[in-house]
Amino acid sequence: MGKGYGSEFHLLRYLGYHRHDLNRAVEQKTGGRVIEWLDFAFGGKGKPDREWTGVDFVDSESDVKSAWLKFWPQSGNVPNWDAVGRLESNSGTEYLLVEAKAHVEELQSSCGASEKGGMDVIRKALIGTIKTNSYTADVDEWLSPYYQYANRLAHLHFLLQHNIPARLVFIYFFGDNGGGKTLSNGKPPKCPKNEQEWCASLRNMHNHLHLNGQSELEKHVHNLFLRV
């Protein structure tokens, strides 16, 4: 974790020192009331504390979790959440699944699974999400270059299909200084200075994924723009 920069630092800072402001921003977007933020598990023996992965946070018997084991491969990097909370809304209690970003390059990723490492399972999960929500995208467009966003949508789709109320909250921090770091291409990260500078990159991502903003799935997705 960067000291004074990066999405992980800024999110933990908001959770630790500015939780009221964070909760208020979430509540304004969702119309609900934040009940709590779930603690992560301790790492122990030199290992870092562990973020929630997959659907481990679900307070449910084995049915949903057993279904998830078939929905998503357990080898490789199982999707993890930057934060998980609970929200009280008109629909009852819902999970808040948070992804945070501090520079635009964090939006891009590609699926690295092999055919033996679960690629077929991933493709099936993404195709199901695309078809159910009447998107016109080809599955390959969801595998790269915005794979992380796509697989988070797939996980939200899975939860809603199994009657687990949930919302995705993407937090886009602006004003980060990049910590003086450079990317693999030798250039500094592009850290937006305001909400508007995020929006062009987000439009490109949404257009590439063929999101229409009208699907039932996207009604459960919210963007927050927070100053660092």
Residue 173 covered by a domain? yes
**Is residue 159 scored above 80 in pLDDT?**
yes
Rounded to an integer, what distance in angstroms lies between the CA atom of residue 167 and that of residue 91? 12
pLDDT at 92: 93
- The per-residue pLDDT of the chain, averaged, comes to 93
pLDDT band for position 156 (cuts 50, 70, 90): very high
Please give the residue that has the higher pLDDT: either 158 or 78.
Answer: 158
Residue 1 covered by a domain? no
Residue 135 covered by a domain? yes
Number of domains in the chain: 1
- pLDDT tens digits, 17-42: 999 999 999 999 999 999 999 999 88
Residue 213 covered by a domain? yes
Residue 100 covered by a domain? yes
pLDDT at 118: 92
Q: What percent of the chain has pLDDT over 70?
A: 98
pLDDT at 104: 97
In this structure, the strands spanning 166-174 and 92-101 are parallel
* Residue at 195: amino acid letter: E
Mean predicted confidence (pLDDT) in 83-111: 96
Residues contacting residue 35 through CB under 8 Å, at least 6 positions apart = 85, 86, 87, 88, 93
The domain containing residue 220 runs over which residues? Answer: 7-227
Mean predicted confidence (pLDDT) in 147-157: 98
pLDDT at 115: 81
Residue 157 covered by a domain? yes
Residue 2 covered by a domain? no
pLDDT band for position 74 (cuts 50, 70, 90): confident
Please give the residue that has the higher pLDDT: either 53 or 115.
Answer: 53
Least confident range from 2-11, 59-68, 167-176, 195-204: namely: 59-68
Residue 219 covered by a domain? yes
